[in-house]
Amino acid sequence: MQPTVRRPFRRETEETRRADLIAATQVLVAEGGTAAATVRAIAARAGVTAGLIRHYFQSKEDLVRAAYLALMQGMTVQSAEALETVGAGPEERLAAFIATSLRPPVMEAGAVGLWAGYMHKVQSDPELLAVHEAVYLDYRGVLQSLIAALPRDATLAQLRAEAIACNAVIDGLWLEGSILAHAFAPAEPLVIGLRSIGAILGLDLLAHAPPPFDPGKALP
């Protein structure tokens, strides 16, 4: 008779439990929208009891909002972290921020699928809409601060308008570049993004693109 193999006991921290529940919720929302993320389904996906969910979140709605916040903040954080690996040049820092937003893992079909799973709920849930607005303004604020650091004169109103326009370019390329990756040449969304945002700001951002992108091999 084979001896029984026992898995080592591992006490989960509260942070780990919350992260597991958020991850399970994100998978379900990506598969079937927020309606698919029931308490029972989340518990089954996370391998816990339904009662444990209520220990960490006051309601299913709170968990759904936390999962959306984690998704959106995660993409903003990844783009901001790119600034830690580049020099102090404002053009270089702006190009690095844009590039991270238009490359995997930020530009990825799964992330867009999860984002899309929330869109209907965002319109009907004021608290979820508030989360969406806060994360959007946070990302746009980082973008505006990078634009403001460029060596040129610009009014606050101009900086705001430029940040909105540049954010719109990034959003559109992120959306289509993630869903229809096969419809674009390698690095094409990034090239178009750097060129378009450069045109808005009057800069040559391709010349400051971070590695492994090679501006010498940019698309025509």
- At 180 the three-state DSSP class reads coil
Mean pLDDT calculated for residue range 155-159:
98
State phi, psi for 86 to the nearest 5 degrees.
Answer: -120, 170
**pLDDT of 164 above 50:** yes
- pLDDT value at position 213? 61
CB burial of 142-152 (b: ≥16 within 10 Å; e: otherwise) equals bbbebbbebee
For 8-66, write each residue's pLDDT tens digit: 434 467 888 899 999 999 999 988 888 899 999 999 999 998 888 988 999 999 999 99
Q: Which CATH superfamily is domain 68-217 in?
A: Tetracycline Repressor, domain 2 (1.10.357.10)
Q: Are 190 and 96 in contact (CB under 8 A)?
A: no
Instruction: Quote the longest CA-to-CA distance of the chain.
Output: 80
* Candidate from 31-45, 69-83, 121-135 with smallest mean pLDDT: 69-83
